[in-house]
Copies of this chain bind each other. A is one copy, B any other.
Amino acid sequence: MNNNLSKFSLKHRVAYEIRKSIFDGKLEQGEKITESQVSQDLGVSRTSVREAMLLLELEGLLISSPYKDTRVATINQEEVLELLLPMRVHIETFALKKGFPTWGEKTKEEFEHILENMKKAVHFEDLSTFMELDIQFHELIVTSSEMDNVIRIWESIVHRIRLHFLYQNRKSGTLQKWLSDHEELIHILVHGTSVDEAVDALGKHIMDTNIPDVYLLE
């Protein structure tokens, strides 16, 4: 288990590990996952796994049937495209409006740092790491609003969108395109002065990078 996260409580670290298994494809859609198995695998008690799985259920990544089993959620394209994505745009642009005016040099450096790591990830064609960095990037926007509940709500939907994105892009390897998209956006965020421009760019970015091409043809 990843010990770099030791400042977080056990349930959060366990949740992180399970999420990772899902996003890395070790757990497929609809596959069964049991508390005792995860408990053994990670060497922690079932209680902690249970709380972690409750978190993941509320993120829409797992679906539990009482006394029966718990399975990895299947995704519903309609739900993601028509409900979750617009909600995510609304949350992130709200956070951006609140946070943008308060950003200092430190925040801007964090954005640049993420961009640097993205370049490295692209160089090694490491999709998993790239997606992790993408989450960090958007999380930075959300946390910079410094409103606790905003990040909580964001977390309750973003992982499900990520799952949809993952299943969409399993084959197509357009890492280079995503990199330049982020490069452009981060430039506007870090060097731009207009909030409206930043908000606009962020909204477009989220929709563009998550809506599959085929869907646009209709």
- Contact assessment for B79 and A87 in the assembled complex, using a CB-CB cutoff below 8 Å: no
Which one of A20-28, A109-117, A143-151 is at the B interface?
A: A143-151
Q: Which of A160-215 contact B (CB under 8 A)?
A: 160
Residues in B whose Cβ lies below 8 Å from that of A94: 82-83
Q: Which residues of A contact B (CB under 8 A)?
A: 9, 47, 50-51, 54-55, 58, 60, 63, 66, 76, 79, 82-84, 86-87, 90-91, 94, 147-150, 152-153, 156-157, 160
- Contact assessment for A76 and B149 in the assembled complex, using a CB-CB cutoff below 8 Å: yes
Given contacts A83-B90, A91-B83, contact A156 B54 (CB under 8 A): no
Q: How many copies are assembled?
A: 2
- Contact assessment for B152 and A79 in the assembled complex, using a CB-CB cutoff below 8 Å: no
Can you show 10 pairs from A to B with CB atoms below 8 A apart? A50-B51, A58-B152, A60-B149, A76-B147, A79-B149, A83-B150, A83-B153, A87-B90, A87-B91, A149-B160
Closest CB of chain B to A96's CB: distance in Å? 12
